Amino acid sequence: MTLISRRTLITAAGLGAAAWLNPVRAQLAGKPLTLIVPAAAGGTTDIAARMLAEPLGKILQTSVVVDNRSGGNGNIAGQMVARGPADGSSLLVQYSGYQCITPLIQPVPGFDPATSLKPIAHLIDAPQLLVVRANFPADTFAEFLKYVKANPGKVNYASSGNGSLQHVTTELLKDLTHTFMTHIPYRGTGPALNDLLAGTVDFTITTPPPLLPHVRAGKLKALMVTGRARLPALPNVPTATQVGVPLVASSWFAVYGPASLPSELQNRLSLAIKQVVESDNFKKRAEDQGAKAVVMNSAELATLGANERKMWERIVKVANIKAD
């Protein structure tokens, strides 16, 4: 094959790859695409949205804006997208706890993420990390557990809201360790983390991305990770199973649109996001944050959501988890 023919093929392939995006670009017609985030700035959902925004904007040739709409344990943002335009201009960067757990604990009449939202593409997975304030009287999970059992009800924990995975995971930890700790819900991980750093609350269990800078700076102490393996970013922090607690839990973050989003547009948006998630830059940024980039199409994401909701429904019942 000659150099000219190779170049011709490469150019044609590039034009073909761009052509399938033209309907999306035409649908947006120069309008900015807004990524609605159901939590305050600073949490993993927000970080995932901002990791996606710039490269997705380049692919779609439009500006992508991140809009934080915290409150209602994800229901405010979810309903905003569900009732919004079905032209791809308003999408939800969703957190698995709000997608699969909140409806079980705090159902909203007329809105269910499983039916009111249409899955588009998966972004990242992340385990949960238990961290305590810097001056908490424990440096290991064993010391933490001993202190909690000696002070029932006096130790409190922050979560991003009722029904969040942080809430349910900690309630499950309480059930498994036969302990009593007080729940303090916030409107997102960002505000919860601010109070933890200020020493207002004792600990939280959440995904690593917003925690790692503070752990590395000595402002928080990491005692346990709920993944199946230790985090490469924190190799000295043991897993829950390694400290004798049979607890494995992780969060995922994905993109959804309104249920009325046309299937063709759903599929093309899914392919565009897939390009971002498969990129080396996105993968590295996720790993640096203690997370993992995971590609899933719309159908695979729908199956994941349905299966996790069934799993958490069983755990919510067994642990008798209820909204505060």
- Of 144, 216, 155, 220, residue with least CA distance to 189: 220
Task: At 70, list the tokens.
Answer: 């915290």
pTM: 0.82
Across the range 241-252, mean pLDDT stands at 93
Cα 109 off chain centre by: 24
Task: Work out the pLDDT band at 138, boundaries 50, 70, 90.
Answer: very high
**Domains, the chain, ordered by start:** 3-126+251-318 (3.40.190.150), 127-243 (3.40.190.10)
Alpha helices in the chain (DSSP H): 3-19, 22-28, 44-60, 75-82, 96, 102-105, 113-116, 141-150, 165-177, 189-198, 212-216, 263-278, 280-288, 298-318
- Dist CA 26 CA 172 (whole Å): 48
Count of CB atoms within 10 A of residue 177's CB?
A: 17
- Dist CA 94 CA 97 (whole Å): 9
Across the range 25-45, mean pLDDT stands at 84
The per-residue pLDDT for range 40-94, each reduced to its tens digit, is 898 899 999 999 999 999 999 999 999 999 988 899 999 999 999 999 999 999 9
